[in-house]
Amino acid sequence: MSELTTEQKEVLEHTMKAVQRIALAIIALSQDDREMQYAIVQRNFERALSQVGIEGEAGRDWIDVTMRALRTFVAEIEAGGGAQGGRA
């Protein structure tokens, strides 16, 4: 993998912080409400990308990776005992 530019590193850092904040909010929801929230978050990300001109394959790839990261963070928090998850 090639080195990221300073700008790319900054975007990645901001994205990961946003995903972590959203995961902390989602973990407090019921399972049904989480699924609805994931859909809302995805639409918001799609709208934001469109506003800055990121569309097509690059946009879809970003959304896919970001939403997988969000679901992974929620699962990790839950497995660690957050929101009455795991058995920590």
The predicted-structure confidence for 17-47, as pLDDT tens digits, reads as follows: 999 999 999 999 998 899 999 999 999 999 9
Name the residue ranges covered by the structural domains of the chain.
19-80
C-alpha distances in Å from residue 59, one per residue of 3, 11, 35, 77, 87: 20, 14, 21, 27, 37
Question: Is residue 87 scored above 90 in pLDDT?
Answer: no
pTM of the model: 0.79
Cα pseudo-dihedral 50, 55, 61, 63, rounded to 10: 10
